[in-house]
Amino acid sequence: MSEPVTAIRNLGPASEKEFVRAGLPTADAIRAIGADTAYLRLLETGTRPHFIGYYALVMGLQGRPWHDCKGPEKDALRVRFDALRAGARPRPQNDGPSLSLRRELDGLGVRLDS
């Protein structure tokens, strides 16, 4: 049985709701794709970017408390966060196949260009 999103340190019910909406309903699904890809999916499904939320996810996947992020490590994560924000392409609800269908097709190795 898969663990809920809240099994990842630093992630609570509000984060879980956003991840489920982004097609990542379990902790295993998030761990499988990593922090950057998971956060990008959040951005693409309309979650407002928030640096603390991003590095809390990164720290949580490492089993660390969110406030453990400091100094050069935090600076490097800020660069990654900014790059994710710049590269995110939010997808409108009525723009081609639904996000859930895209995720299913992606899981089968079928990519749709849009």
- What average pLDDT does the segment 99-104 reach? 70
Task: Output the pLDDT for position 42.
Answer: 96
**Per-residue model confidence (pLDDT) at position 108:** 78
Would you state the torsion angle of the CA atoms of residues 11, 61, 109, 111, taken in this order, to the nearest 10 degrees?
Answer: 60
What is the reported pTM?
A: 0.78
Tell me: pLDDT of 50 over 60. yes
Domains of the chain: 5-107 (1.10.150.20)
Q: Which pair of structure tokens corresponds to residue 5?
A: 């999103």
83 vs 114, which has greater pLDDT? Answer: 83
Instruction: Determine contact, residues 5/20, Cβ cutoff 8 Å.
Output: yes
Q: Report pLDDT digits (tens) over 34-49.
A: 999 999 999 999 999 9
Asked if 112 and 102 count as a contact pair (C-beta separation under 8 A), the reply is: yes
Q: How far apart are CA 87 and CA 109, in angstroms?
A: 22
